[in-house]
Structure 1
Amino acid sequence: MNQKEILEKVDHTLLTQTATWAEIKQICDDAVHYGTASVCIPAAYVKRAKEYVGEKMAVCTVIGFPNGYTTTAAKVFEAKDAIQNGADEIDMVINLGYVKDGLYNLQLEEIKQVKAACGNHILKVIIETCLLTEEEKIKMCEVVTASGADYIKTSTGFSTAGATFEDVALFKEHVGPNVKIKAAGGIKTMEDAEKFISLGASRLGTSRIIKLIKNEEAHGY
Structure 2
Amino acid sequence: MENKEIFEKVDHTLLTQTATWSDIKTICDDAITYQVASVCIPASYVKKAKEYVEGKMKVCTVIGFPNGYNTTAVKVFETKDAINNGADEIDMVINIGHVKDGLYDMIEDEIRQIKAACGDKVLKVIIETCLLTEEEKIKMCEVVTNAKADYIKTSTGFSTSGATFEDVALFAKYVGKDVKIKAAGGISSFDDAKKFISLGASRLGTSRIVKLAKNEQGSGY
SS in structure 2 of the partner of residue 198 of structure 1: helix
Show the counterpart of 1:122.
122
Q: Structure 1 length as normaliser, TM-score?
A: 0.98
SS in structure 2 of the partner of residue 31 of structure 1: helix
Cα separation, 1, equivalents of 2:116 and 2:42: 21
Identity %: 77
Cα separation, 2, equivalents of 1:11 and 1:114: 20
Deviations 1:7-31 (A, max 9, x none): 0000000000000000000000000
- Report how far residue 47 of structure 1 moved: 0.1
Cα separation, 2, equivalents of 1:218 and 1:102: 50
Cα separation, 1, equivalents of 2:63 and 2:218: 35
Aligned partner letter, 1:128: E
Show the counterpart of 1:183.
183
SS in structure 1 of the partner of residue 183 of structure 2: strand
SS in structure 2 of the partner of residue 16 of structure 1: coil
Cα separation, 2, equivalents of 1:35 and 1:211: 13
Aligned partner letter, 2:120: N
- After the TM superposition, which segments of 4 or more aligned residues of structure 1 sit over 4 Å from their partners? none
5+ long unaligned stretches in structure 1: none
What RMSD in Å do the two structures reach over aligned CA positions?
1.0
SS in structure 2 of the partner of residue 61 of structure 1: strand
Show the counterpart of 2:97.
97
SS in structure 2 of the partner of residue 105 of structure 1: helix
SS in structure 1 of the partner of residue 216 of structure 2: helix
5+ long unaligned stretches in structure 2: none
- Report how far residue 55 of structure 1 moved: 1.1
Cα separation, 2, equivalents of 1:42 and 1:164: 24
Cα separation, 2, equivalents of 1:217 and 1:106: 50
Aligned partner letter, 2:39: V
Q: Structure 2 length as normaliser, TM-score?
A: 0.98
Aligned partner letter, 1:48: K
**Stretch deviating more after TM superposition (184-193 or 208-217):** 208-217
Show the counterpart of 1:131.
131
Show the counterpart of 2:82.
82
SS in structure 1 of the partner of residue 217 of structure 2: helix
Matching of residue 150 in structure 1 with residue 150 in structure 2: yes
Cα separation, 2, equivalents of 1:18 and 1:218: 32
- Report how far residue 218 of structure 1 moved: 9.5
Aligned partner letter, 2:174: H
Cα separation, 2, equivalents of 1:145 and 1:54: 33
- Report how far residue 54 of structure 1 moved: 1.9
Aligned partner letter, 1:65: F
Cα separation, 1, equivalents of 2:145 and 2:183: 17
